[in-house]
Structure 1
Amino acid sequence: MEGTIARRLLVNFRVRPECVRPFLPAPFRPKLVQGWAMAGLCLIRLEGVRPKGFPAALGMASENAAHRIAAEWDEDNGPREGVFILRRETDSRVNLLLGGRVFPGVHHLARFDTWETERRLKIAITEADGRRLVRVAARLGEPWPVNSIFASLKEASAFFQRGSWGWSMDNGGSCEDMVLHIPSWRAEPLFVERVKSGFFDDRKRFPAGSLEFDSALLMRNLLHEWRVLPALAARREAA
């Protein structure tokens, strides 16, 4: 599949590793940065998505969101890295129906309310039952945050570019994967004015002091491809 990333917002949290390990099935483990695990939100608007080689006019647009954890695992030729996706939301009934069946990724239907200018954006995601899932307000034009675990935008961007291999559980209890290929990768720093997440704000999952906001990146107007690789058998470890 190919298309255009109209907008991709990565909101990143640093988390105590022991808090994310229960969410990772074998053989995955948290990818650590200075002793911290990295988790976050990927809020992405896709446009012109269609089978590779088909005319762009046949493509579809959708708003999508993923809660994810940076992960690594071992293969015969050494350790690999990517992200493990805990949950996906979409406003597209096509993604809802085909995700996890025709292409990897089980999706849940949600409402996306978005507002954007060249310098500012707001995104609100509400689940089908009316519960608020995500609220983000952010703006461009700010320097890289001095309290980020990453020393610079370049370092953070490279980390997330290496994490383009995404894994998630299918409905049968096995892992399925998809690689996001962006030939001309580029990202800008965002200053997050407000972020709320029903998942990451849950103090039963993440006790006070175990999770801190780290940084945010914005990517816009980039050609991309989704590539599927052979599935990896995996199951959730006992808590």
Structure 2
Amino acid sequence: MSKRSLPQIAVLAALTGAPHGLRPATLLQSLAEVDVDADQALVAVDALVAGGEVSVQGSVLVLSQRGARALLDVHAQIERAMDPSPSTPGMEECPSIPWLTTVQTHWLDAVSLNYAVDPAALAPLLPKPLEPEIHEGCAWVQVLASRLRDMRPQGMPALFGVNFHQVSYRAAVHYRAGHGTRRGGYFLRSETDNAVMRAVGNALVEFRFHDFEAAKVSLERRADLLELRVDPEGTSDVGRVAADLRVDDRREPPASSRWKSRETMQRALVDCFDAFGVDPAGWVYVLTIDRDPWRAVFATPTRVEVAWMDQGPLRGAVLDSALHIPSPCGYRWRPLRRERFLP
């Protein structure tokens, strides 16, 4: 399709809502409401009539089938341009069991504990070709905890969903492939309190990163205090978490944070839509999530004890800030994809 001007797109969109057409004066009035002046509109109409996208039927202008296809094409181009994780040449969907990845759920009262870590300490924990993302002079690991409601294969009623808690340790990473660099997250460890979801997660053998661990998890809000507790099952306490956060709905990072503004943190840590797994045979697996905006606010930690961050391979990591996602946030998984990485 040839490139469309904004006035032409506006004309096509206006006529879409008028199946019986619009008189030119009515069309110009509608376009003026979206700041398209009359001269621009008339030039656009003439071009669309000449191209067969708009037809003149008596005293009205009507969107033709060709015009409808043109508008759908524009919509598809906008979707591709806004896609945070577009497929690239050579990327393919995997032969995974579809319902293991194409699921949907809602996050409730989610928490992100944001740790600044030494890149040299994080790098050995990442399989090649993944590398730490460096922001504000540090690598970053987020301890993400949430209550997940009604997780189920897409298209199934919520009645068949599963409710559970999950805690994940997500490192901000990137890798290089033939198309350039792709940013995302790599899960260093995870715990869940649901045996079924643990089994499902561990059954996704193509998406190799680690085994889900079992733990008792609670995430409760009492007035302006949010309490997170994770007690691992078994003999190891390395997954233990005890965190108390005061929910005061601050919009900007604390003064002690390395982040100078909410926007810079948003781009680096929040706008993360891909999770990676690596096959040493030369594949990177990409699990992409389409989700609602987090609408996160900053919370004030009053007590934070995360054993794996304090005593594990990233000991010395510094808790930079904490985010709280108070509103339900819809999550939808895309089919698992993979692509070759550069050696």
2:185 maps to a residue whose letter is V
Tell me if the contact between 1:17 and 1:30 (Cα under 8 Å) persists in the aligned partners.
yes
Q: Distance in 2 between the 1:28 and 1:111 partners? A: 31
Identical-pair percentage: 23
Gaps in structure 2 of 5+ consecutive residues: 1-102
Instruction: After superposition, give the CA deviation of every residue in 1:141-170 in whole Å (9 maximum; x if it has no partner).
Output: 164201212112233233223323112468
Counterparts of residues 102-141 of structure 1 (less than 5 Å): 102=204, 104=207, 106-129=211-234, 131=237, 133-141=240-248
Q: Distance in 2 between the 1:135 and 1:178 partners? A: 29
Q: Distance in 1 between the 2:211 and 2:282 partners? A: 12
SS in 1 for 2:124: helix
- Root mean square deviation, CA, Å: 2.5
Instruction: After superposition, give the CA deviation of every residue in 1:51-85 in whole Å (9 maximum; x if it has no partner).
Output: 11111121111100111211011122221111111
* Residue 182 (1) aligns with residue 297 (2): no
Gaps in structure 1 of 5+ consecutive residues: 235-239
Greater strand share, 1 or 2? 1
2:172 maps to a residue whose letter is A
C-alpha deviation, 1:174, in angstroms:
7.5
C-alpha deviation, 1:15, in angstroms:
1.1
* Residue 77 (1) aligns with residue 185 (2): no
Deviates more, 1:136-145 or 1:12-21: 136-145
Counterparts of residues 227-238 of structure 1 (less than 5 Å): 227-231=334-338
Q: Distance in 1 between the 2:192 and 2:285 partners? A: 18
Q: Distance in 2 between the 1:127 and 1:175 partners? A: 30
Closer/same/farther in 2, CA of residues 99 and 9 from structure 1, 3 Å limit: same
List structure 1 segments (4+ residues) > 3 angstroms apart after TM superposition.
102-106, 172-177, 231-234
Instruction: After superposition, give the CA deviation of every residue in 1:167-224 in whole Å (9 maximum; x if it has no partner).
Output: 2468x9986442232133311111111111121101x6245xx421111111131111
Which residue matches 1:42? 144
Instruction: After superposition, give the CA deviation of every residue in 1:13-66 in whole Å (9 maximum; x if it has no partner).
Output: 111111111101100110001221011201111101111111112111110011
Q: Distance in 1 between the 2:232 and 2:282 partners? A: 24
1:117 maps to a residue whose letter is R
Tell me if the contact between 1:81 and 1:162 (Cα under 8 Å) persists in the aligned partners.
no
Q: If the length of structure 2 is used for normalisation, what is the TM-score?
A: 0.61
The partner residue of 1:226 within 324, 333, 338 is: 333
Counterparts of residues 153-172 of structure 1 (less than 5 Å): 153-168=262-277
Deviates more, 1:81-90 or 1:101-110: 101-110
Q: How many residues end up aligned between the 2 structures?
A: 230
Closer/same/farther in 2, CA of residues 161 and 47 from structure 1, 3 Å limit: same
Greater helix share, 1 or 2? 2
